[in-house]
Amino acid sequence: MMRTRILCALALGAALSANAEEKAKAPGPPKGPSQEEMTKAWQAYATPGDAHKKLEALAGSWTAKTKMWMDPGQPPEEAEGTSEQTWVLGGRYLAQRFEGKMMGQPFSGIGYTGYDNHKKKYESVWMDSAGTGIMVSSGSFDKSGKVLRSTAVMDDFMTGKKSTIKEALTIVDADTHKLEMWMPGPDGKPFKNLEVVYTRKK
């Protein structure tokens, strides 16, 4: 009887030992990034870089000549305005304040453009006195590094449907840049409805 008890105890001990070894080998919950890794990732995300510097050509004081087409078959309405573009939040975003006219009425607009280091995309928001919505666009420079092409999706308050808007911001030279915009026309096909040529004030 004593021998049987001893053998049972040895067997139980071996089983417990084997079970402990299996638990030690089994993978535990995944470990998160270290404090050092998190700090390094955050610094890379938060620090302005070369992509932000591409927007430097847009900073400054500008006169603006605007052409707006309400109907693709009609001549554009032309107007003039001014624009101030300045860096904010430590060179992370370029802020624009625009003053001019639209359809003979005073027109004001505010916009912010930046580069998201995580998404690898330029993003912009725009608000103006001609509406109550906020346009959010996202895009990239083309291979030339001179044309920033962006896309925005907005609600069409006339139809209640979504409208896709295309933009092209061309850096012509150090003293000139041009914004063009295309939106769906009456037939659903995109047409150029806006062109703004900015000339640096001397």
Where does the pLDDT of residue 9 fall: very low under 50, low under 70, confident under 90, or very high at 90 and above?
A: very low
d(CA 58, CA 52): 11
HSE, side-chain direction, 13 A CA sphere, residue 77: 12
Q: With CA atoms as reference, report the closest residue to 48 among 38, 37, 60, 56.
A: 56
Q: What is the pLDDT of residue 149?
A: 98
118: pLDDT strictly greater than 50: yes
pLDDT at 12: 42
- Closest by alpha carbon to 113, among 133, 147, 82, 88? 88
Would you state the pLDDT for residue 73? 86
Q: How far apart are CA 115 and CA 53, in angstroms?
A: 10
Q: How many CA atoms lie within 13 A of 171 on its CB side?
A: 15
Torsion sign across C-alpha atoms 56, 61, 65, 69: positive
Domains of the chain: 2-46 (no CATH), 50-200 (2.40.128.20)
45-83 pLDDT, tens digit each: 999 999 999 999 999 999 999 999 988 889 999 999 999
For 134-188, the pLDDT digits (tens) are 999 999 999 999 999 999 998 888 778 888 999 999 999 999 999 999 999 888 8
| pTM higher than the cut 0.85 | no
